[in-house]
Structure 1
């Protein structure tokens, strides 16, 4: 049996995700571009390690 689900995806600019996380009480501990811990670069995927303030 195949079940279909709709997936919603939203893109954020770095400033937007930082503000949103801050408003929700999170602190960014580490920030990477991609899942191989590359240095942050404009236009790449953002991977953020966060903790509750």
Structure 2
């Protein structure tokens, strides 16, 4: 089960910098995770200041 980024995202980019497979990118109003590339490591959730990344 991949991670998703909820509407709580404040677009700080902390998650993208921690992703070892570069599956997180900036969307129109928040960051998004490519579920096909996500390896479910949880690094994004560990660094997010607003707990936006959640397991799908």
TM-score, length-normalised on structure 1?
Answer: 0.30
Could you say which structure has the greater relative contact order, defined with CA pairs below 8 angstroms and 6 or more residues apart?
Answer: 2
Which has the larger Rg?
Answer: 1
TM-score (norm 2): 0.29
